[in-house]
Structure 1
Amino acid sequence: MEKEKLYRLKAEANQLSPILNIGKNGVTDALIEELNKQIKANRLVKVRVLKSAEDGKDLKDIAEEIAAATKSNLIEVRGRTVVLYK
């Protein structure tokens, strides 16, 4: 993805609120299904990963797993928030 588009998407994502929280159950099929619906409707989504979801996993790994499962682009991981775009 080109830099200019990436910067624009990051700026746009700053205005968004997280639409989903990933909790202690982690990345489930139901979560991926809901995330796919949200991505289809909004194209750019923000997801919050709660501390209980990590369970020994790195936050970046969780973000990449979500991006791969939803076939979307991982735009940014900031704090506990993940931004995805399709």
Structure 2
Amino acid sequence: MISGKQRSYLKALANTIDPIFQIGKNGITESFLKQVDEALEAREIVKINVLNNSSLAAKEAADQVVDSLNAEFVQSIGNKFVIYRESKENKKIELP
């Protein structure tokens, strides 16, 4: 579990990154989760866009992805959300 100060720090980092994944009408599949898992290991912080044709809201999708990948929810704004997970091998982000 990350603290409020750490969450604020991650929000500031997420402000400058673009979404690298999209959730559409197919929802959250195993292959999607595998790709996000690999991206989290490489980047530690990932922004995901939920398209309008998706049956999931951004917060619902974030909850499912976070639960499946053992990650931390950072924030949700509109149809985008940000998740974080500390990398085991490629540690880049030093939390305060």
Taking structure 2 as the reference length, what is the TM-score of the superposition? 0.83
Measured in 1, the distance between the counterparts of 2:67 and 2:18 equals 22
Deviation (angstroms), 1:39: 0.4
For 1:12, give the aligned amino acid: L
Deviation (angstroms), 1:9: 0.2
Measured in 2, the distance between the counterparts of 1:58 and 1:39 equals 21
Give 1 or 2: higher helix fraction: 1
For 2:60, give the aligned amino acid: D
Deviation (angstroms), 1:2: 1.2
Q: Identity, % of aligned pairs? A: 27
Alignment of 1:12 with 2:9, yes or no, is no
CA-based RMSD of the aligned residues comes to 1.0
Identify the residue that residue 46 of structure 1 maps to in structure 2: 47
Measured in 2, the distance between the counterparts of 1:58 and 1:49 equals 7
Unaligned runs of 5+ in 2: 86-96
Identify the residue that residue 25 of structure 1 maps to in structure 2: 26
CA contact (8 A) 2:57 2:79 kept: no
Identify the residue that residue 76 of structure 1 maps to in structure 2: 75
Measured in 1, the distance between the counterparts of 2:43 and 2:57 equals 27
Taking structure 1 as the reference length, what is the TM-score of the superposition? 0.92
Determine helix, strand or coil for the equivalent of 1:25.
coil
